[in-house]
Amino acid sequence: GQNIDQPTEMTATEGAIVQINCTYQTSGFNGLFWYQQHAGEAPTFLSYNVLDGLEEKGRFSSFLSRSKGYSYLLLKELQMKDSASYLCAVRSPGSSNTGKLIFGQGTTLQVKP
Protein backbone atom coordinates (compact mmCIF):
# COMPACT_ATOMS: atom_id res chain seq x y z
CA GLY A 1 0.00 0.00 0.00
CA GLN A 2 0.89 3.65 -0.12
CA ASN A 3 0.92 5.75 3.01
CA ILE A 4 2.47 9.15 3.59
CA ASP A 5 2.02 10.83 6.96
CA GLN A 6 2.54 14.46 7.89
CA PRO A 7 1.23 16.55 10.79
CA THR A 8 -1.94 18.34 9.81
CA GLU A 9 -1.11 21.74 11.27
CA MET A 10 1.85 23.56 12.79
CA THR A 11 2.31 27.05 14.19
CA ALA A 12 5.59 28.92 14.50
CA THR A 13 6.83 32.43 15.18
CA GLU A 14 8.32 34.81 12.64
CA GLY A 15 12.12 34.54 12.64
CA ALA A 16 12.11 31.07 14.20
CA ILE A 17 12.99 27.63 12.79
CA VAL A 18 10.40 24.94 12.11
CA GLN A 19 10.78 21.30 11.12
CA ILE A 20 7.99 19.50 9.25
CA ASN A 21 8.25 15.72 9.36
CA CYS A 22 7.08 13.18 6.81
CA THR A 23 7.06 9.41 7.10
CA TYR A 24 6.26 7.14 4.21
CA GLN A 25 5.48 3.52 3.45
CA THR A 26 5.23 3.01 -0.28
CA SER A 27 5.59 0.11 -2.69
CA GLY A 28 8.78 1.37 -4.25
CA PHE A 29 10.70 4.61 -3.95
CA ASN A 30 12.33 6.84 -6.52
CA GLY A 31 12.76 10.12 -4.70
CA LEU A 32 10.98 12.37 -2.24
CA PHE A 33 9.73 15.87 -2.96
CA TRP A 34 8.60 18.84 -0.93
CA TYR A 35 6.18 21.32 -2.45
CA GLN A 36 4.78 24.56 -1.04
CA GLN A 37 1.18 25.47 -1.76
CA HIS A 38 -0.57 28.70 -0.84
CA ALA A 39 -4.34 28.42 -0.51
CA GLY A 40 -6.05 28.14 -3.90
CA GLU A 41 -2.76 28.27 -5.80
CA ALA A 42 -0.57 25.74 -7.59
CA PRO A 43 2.03 23.73 -5.69
CA THR A 44 5.57 25.03 -6.24
CA PHE A 45 8.67 22.85 -6.01
CA LEU A 46 10.93 23.26 -2.97
CA SER A 47 13.27 20.28 -2.85
CA TYR A 48 14.07 16.77 -4.05
CA ASN A 49 15.96 14.03 -2.20
CA VAL A 50 16.80 10.65 -3.67
CA LEU A 51 19.88 9.80 -1.58
CA ASP A 52 20.18 9.86 2.21
CA GLY A 53 21.29 13.10 3.74
CA LEU A 54 20.62 16.79 3.86
CA GLU A 55 19.99 19.08 0.89
CA GLU A 56 20.23 22.80 1.61
CA LYS A 57 18.75 25.55 -0.52
CA GLY A 58 18.73 28.98 1.07
CA ARG A 59 16.40 29.13 4.06
CA PHE A 60 15.01 25.69 3.24
CA SER A 61 16.68 22.32 3.86
CA SER A 62 15.36 18.80 3.37
CA PHE A 63 16.59 15.56 4.89
CA LEU A 64 16.01 11.97 3.84
CA SER A 65 16.56 8.60 5.51
CA ARG A 66 15.48 5.83 3.17
CA SER A 67 16.04 3.07 5.72
CA LYS A 68 13.66 4.79 8.14
CA GLY A 69 11.16 5.96 5.52
CA TYR A 70 11.55 9.46 6.93
CA SER A 71 12.09 12.96 5.69
CA TYR A 72 11.87 16.44 7.11
CA LEU A 73 11.70 19.95 5.73
CA LEU A 74 13.49 22.60 7.76
CA LEU A 75 12.52 26.24 7.35
CA LYS A 76 14.81 28.84 8.90
CA GLU A 77 14.29 32.55 9.59
CA LEU A 78 10.57 32.17 9.12
CA GLN A 79 8.73 34.93 7.32
CA MET A 80 5.00 35.66 7.27
CA LYS A 81 4.89 34.67 3.59
CA ASP A 82 5.94 31.13 4.60
CA SER A 83 2.41 30.57 5.90
CA ALA A 84 1.24 27.88 3.49
CA SER A 85 0.63 24.17 3.11
CA TYR A 86 3.74 21.98 2.73
CA LEU A 87 3.26 18.78 0.76
CA CYS A 88 5.49 15.73 1.01
CA ALA A 89 5.39 13.49 -2.08
CA VAL A 90 7.06 10.22 -3.04
CA ARG A 91 7.86 9.39 -6.64
CA SER A 92 7.02 5.86 -7.66
CA PRO A 93 9.71 3.86 -9.47
CA GLY A 94 9.47 3.28 -13.15
CA SER A 95 11.11 4.24 -16.39
CA SER A 96 12.77 7.60 -16.72
CA ASN A 97 9.65 9.03 -18.31
CA THR A 98 7.21 7.82 -15.64
CA GLY A 99 6.94 10.25 -12.76
CA LYS A 100 3.82 9.51 -10.75
CA LEU A 101 3.85 11.40 -7.44
CA ILE A 102 2.01 10.19 -4.33
CA PHE A 103 1.24 13.10 -2.02
CA GLY A 104 0.68 13.29 1.70
CA GLN A 105 -2.26 15.31 3.00
CA GLY A 106 -0.04 18.31 3.60
CA THR A 107 0.96 20.31 6.67
CA THR A 108 -0.61 23.74 7.08
CA LEU A 109 1.96 26.06 8.62
CA GLN A 110 0.86 29.28 10.25
CA VAL A 111 3.57 31.84 10.97
CA LYS A 112 2.66 34.33 13.67
CA PRO A 113 4.31 37.71 14.32
Which parts of this chain interact with other proteins (CB under 8 A)? 31, 33, 40-45, 48, 50, 87, 89, 91-92, 94, 96-106
CB of 70 to other proteins, least distance (A): 19
CB of 45 to other proteins, least distance (A): 5
By beta-carbon proximity to other proteins, the closer residue of 5 and 74 is: 5
Query: What single-letter amino acid sits at 102?
Result: I
By beta-carbon proximity to other proteins, the closer residue of 67 and 97 is: 97
Which H or E element spans position 36?
Answer: strand 32-37
Most distant CA atoms of the chain, gap in Å: 46
Question: Which residues does 81 contact at the CB level (< 8 Å), separation at least 6?
Answer: none
